[in-house]
Each structure stands twice: as C-alpha cells, then as structure tokens.
Amino acid sequence: MSTTKTISAQLRGVITQKNNGAFTVSTPTGSRNCPLTARLRRESGGELAVGDEVSVDAAGQIDALLPRRNWISRRSAAPMPGAHTHEQLIAANLDQVVPVFAAANPRLAWHLLDRYLVSAESAEIPALVVITKFDLAAGRPEADEIEQVAAEYRALGYPVLLTSTLDGSGLEAFRAALHGKRSLLVGKSGVGKTSLLNALEPGLGLRVQATNAVTGKGRHTTTAATLLPLTAGGAVIDTPGIREFGLWDVDGADLAWFFPEMRPHLDRCRFGLDCRHAEEPGCAVRKAVTDGLISPYRYQSYLKLRYDP
Amino acid sequence: MTTIPFAQRTYSRSKGQQDTFGDFTCLHCGRLVQSHELLSGVRNRNHCPHCLSSRHLDLYAAGDRLAACKGRMQPVALTLKHDGNKYRRNSGELMLVHICDECGKLSINRIAADDDNERILRVFAASQRLDPDTQAALTHAGITPLEAWQKELVQRRLWGGR
C-alpha cells in the first residue's frame, strides 16, 4: 500500500475514477485513462483508490503512487461465513467523510452511522453527517426522533445536516460545509448521495433512480466511485451504495477510543486499559451509560462493533 | 434509577433483536439454562428456572439489550398481570417481580413452565416480609404484590386445581 517513488519530471495527477482496474487520472494537461505499470500492479496489488495522487509516465501509465495523507477502507464482504476477507480501499487523501442517510426509504440505520463514524475516527478524518429526504418524515413522529438523535450527535462534535432535495432545505449549509474540501460521500444504496450532488451542481446531470416502491431500497444506480470537482471550490467523491461496512484494521482494544464520549472514562475502569467495557465489574464506561452520560444506543453500537467489527 | 437523557429510538426488530438469545449459564447458580420454547413454554426465557434470578439487560423494551447495568435481578414478589376483566376478582396471569441489585430497576416477568414451583412459593413467602425500600419501590411503580391471604390462589396457579 505504501508504494512510493521519487517523482522527477513526470506528470502528476489525481485518480478521479476507478472502474474494474481502469483508472481515470486528472492531470494538469487534462483527464486521461491510465493503466498501471506492471511493476506497480505487482507491488501495490492494484489497490489504488479514488483521490490517490499518482505520477504518470511518458507512456501514459501510472508508475508511482505518492504518499497518502489518509484513507478510508472497509473489510471486503465475505462470500461465505469464514471466508478470507481483505482490505477494500474506498478513497484516499480526504478532508472529511460524509455519511449519508435517508430519513425514510430506505430506513435510517443509526448503528451503521456509528460504523462510519468509528472508521472516520480511526482514520483521523472529520465527519459530517447528512440526512436526506427529510421531507418524507416532516410532520411525522420520526421527524422528532431524528431531530433529537441528530442533536445528540451534534453534542458529540459531529455536525448533522437535515436536507431535502425536494424543498431545498439544508442544501446551502451542505454547500458551505463542502466548500474548499475533498469530501467522501458514503451510504447505502438509495439514500440520495447522487441526488444531493445533482441538487448542488445541476450541471453534473448524474444518473439517479427512485428507490424500489415495495422494499424502499435503492437500485445501485451509481456503480463506480468518482471524484467530482465543485464549481465553488473543493471536490466530492460520490460512491456506489454500500450494503455492508465492516471495519478494517480497527483493533478491539482501541475501539472505545473511537467513541469520543467514552474517552474521558477509559482510564477510570477498575481493570484499567484491559477493560473491555462489556461485563467487567467497576467499568467506568458502563457506569457512565447507566448515569446517562453516554447514549445506550452508542454503547450498544460499541458492543456490536467489538464482537462483529 | 437514573433518567436516561437520550431519545428513545423507534424499536425495529432486526437480525440482532430476537425473541431468544439462546441457552445460557446462570450467573448466579451456575446451571445451564435451556431457552427453547418447547421446554419453557415462553418465547422470552428471561430468568433461570432453578434460582429464578434474572439479569438487567433490557432498558426500554424486552429484548432491546440496551441496559449497561447488567446487574443481577432477584425475584422479590409475585403479582397478577391485569387481564382487563374488572368483574373477576384475582384474575390475570401470575407474574414474578424482579428487582436489580445494582440500580433498583423493577421488571415483571412471566413464569415459565419449567420454573421451580417450590422456589416460587418461597419467593411468595419472603415477599410478605419485604424491606421498606423495596416496598416503596413497588408502590411507586404501581405494582401490587400478592399478599399472604392469596396463598391459595398462588398454589392453585402453580399446581392447578380449583
């Protein structure tokens, strides 16, 4: 993953799209499709991601990967229980991760949000939470619940935006939050990641589809991760819908550290840093949950991630 | 009991939330507890049939597993679950009342088919001498424990007969 090479007079660029091993690279002289050199393919295993900075040789091949500032990856989906999994890179060199959820269709999954947030925390990348289709919940009990839970996440330091592409609410705040940054949009299929981008930049004209009317699930319309520059400055990486998001390279012993509200309690457990915060007597984290300092839902997410990362 | 200052989220049954969480070893008496519905007659096996102890695992709804307390819940009394029939005296299902040793949370649980009846009767006897704190907690929660004069009713519910 850390294949680097001293860059001399070669052309530098950023990978803007990855599709079945073919890469689109944006260079100062324009965008071009570049394969990997045989040496780089051998050394890196072909694992380059959108957002990677690379150098392109005279033959138009990517011959070196520049050092990454950060990256987001997930555990590959296992084809069967017990099957071998590997790291699956999603994007690199990011300023923020934007987990996108729909207020309805498909149903909002707070536990999945905690997975994204832990992944962003472990990569030390700030996160911005966006909830789309808020018009579908307006006036219903779900809207109150979403607003209350959003306030809980804001109190933890995660900005949460409630948006609707139908009535345009929250879009200006979203535009401002993206300004000058490279942001990665992640979320399940059908939550409206691409629709958000179309609403922000109508010129993009990206393909979108309505969710399935019966199941409320998305149709996997976006099929490749693509880096899209924004006219106001900054760029967004739109990604295909993610069905599963398994944590990669997050050690169970460190997991609690990636829940910011648990950090002040970690050194107060009776068993110190050996505490798993599950059943241990004298656990300060469990006490903080029962005292109402930590959300029981966040604590449940911690336990789920501990046993099923 | 501390009031939880977090919004209760809509309960939705997912793969992680099931009626039964499988067989378990009782943390109090150490015996293996079979949770199968065919043995216990209930879908939520929430206490040990041998010592009747339970664990404080649920916070808002049965099976949500949101409680971080995880303390031992002791059976302290018996009560009747109201069946809505106000004209029938002593109607309703016989229930066990548990109280958490750690935080004082109260819960009312169904008696299962394989529960130790003699032990249930001992819980009933002990509940006639409840300490004032437990008594106050029951009153505050609106739970009416069965009293000594209802012993015959308890025996009838446990062993049958008219």
Distance CA A196, CA A237 (A): 12
B111 three-state secondary structure: coil
B70:A279 CB<8 A: yes
Run of H or E including A122:
helix A110-122
Separation in Å, CA A64 to CA A57, A90, B30: 9, 19, 61
Chain B residues closer than 8 Å to A300 by CB? 65-66
Task: Give how many domains chain B has, as a whole number.
Answer: 1
Closest-CA distance, B146 to chain A, in angstroms, reads 31
Q: What is the pLDDT of residue A3?
A: 44
Exposure string over B118-138, b if 16+ CB within 10 A, otherwise e: eebbebbeebeebeeebeebb
Domain ranges for chain A: 11-65, 90-238, 255-307
Please report the pLDDT score of residue B20 as a whole number.
61
Specify if B149 maps to a domain: yes
**Distance between CA atoms of residues A252 and A257, nearest Å:** 10
Buried b (16+ CB within 10 A) or exposed e, A213-244: eeeebbeebbeebbbbebeeebbbbbbbbbee
* Residue A243 touches partner B, C-beta closer than 8 Å: no
Longest Cα–Cα distance of chain B, Å, equals 49
Tell me if B134 sits within 8 A of B76, measured CB to CB: yes
pLDDT at B88 over 90: no
Whether residue B104 lies inside any domain: the answer is yes
Residue A2: its pLDDT value, please?
Answer: 43
Contacts with A110 from chain B: Cβ below 8 Å: 9
Tens digit of each residue's pLDDT (9 = 90 or more) over B109-149:
999 999 999 999 999 999 999 999 999 999 999 999 999 99
pLDDT at A208: 73
Residue indicated by tokens 């017990």: A82
Tokens describing residue A308: 């099923």
Domain assignment of residue B57, yes or no: yes
Strand-strand pairing, B24-25 and B32-33:
antiparallel
Superfamily for the A90-238 domain: P-loop containing nucleotide triphosphate hydrolases (3.40.50.300)
From the first residue on, what is the mean pLDDT of each consecutive set of 10 residues in chain A (309 residues)? 48 89 89 90 83 92 93 83 82 96 88 94 96 90 91 96 92 94 92 87 76 74 84 90 83 92 94 91 94 94 90
A255-307 maps to which CATH number? 1.10.40.50
The set of long-range contacts for A262-265, using a CB threshold of 8 Å and a minimum separation of 24, is A262/A288, A262/A294, A262/A302, A265/A293, A265/A294
Q: What is the pLDDT of residue B6?
A: 85
Q: How many CB pairs under 8 A join A and B?
A: 46
Residue B13 lies in a domain: no
Please list the residues that pair with B108 across neighbouring strands. Answer: B97
Whole-angstrom Cα Rg for chain A:
21
Distance from CA of B10 to the nearest CA of A (A): 8
Q: Do B16 and A295 touch (CB under 8 A)?
A: no
Domain annotation covers residue B6: no
Chain A neighbors of B15, CB-CB under 8 A: none
CB A79 within 8 A of CB A21: no
Q: Burial of A279 by CB count in 10 Å (0-12 exposed, 13-18 middle, 19+ buried)?
A: exposed
Dihedral in degrees, nearest 10, Cα atoms A268, A270, A276, A277: -70
* Token pair for A233: 């400055």
Shortest CB distance from A304 goes to which of B5, B16, B59?
B16
Does any domain span residue B56?
Answer: yes
Q: What is the pLDDT of residue A8?
A: 46
Q: How many CB atoms lie within 10 A of CB A121?
A: 20
A148 touches chain B (CB under 8 A): yes
- Residue B124 belongs to domain spanning: 24-159
Pull the structure tokens for residue A99.
């987990």
Tens digit of pLDDT for each residue in B59-80?
A: 888 888 889 999 999 999 999 9
Cis omega (within 30 of 0) on the bond before A240?
Answer: no
Question: Class of the A11-65 domain?
Answer: mainly beta
Distance CA(A62)–CA(B25), nearest Å, equals: 58
Residue B42 forms part of a structural domain: yes
The alpha-helical segments, DSSP class H, found in chain B are 37-40, 117-126, 132-140, 151-159
Measured distance CA(B28)–CA(A171) in Å, rounded: 55
Contact B7 A110 (CB under 8 A): no
The pLDDT, as a whole number, for residue A7 is: 44
In which residue are the tokens 């029981």 written?
Answer: A296
Q: What is the pTM of this model?
A: 0.85
From A196, A186, A202, select the one nearest A240 (Cα to Cα).
A186
Residue A42's contacts (CB-CB under 8 Å, 6 or more residues apart) are none
ipTM above 0.90, yes or no: no
Q: Do A290 and B69 touch (CB under 8 A)?
A: yes
Query: Is position B76 within any domain?
Result: yes
Write out the two tokens for B135.
Answer: 């008594």
What tokens were used for B129? 């001498």
Name the residue among A286, A295, A304 with its Cβ closest to that of B6.
A295
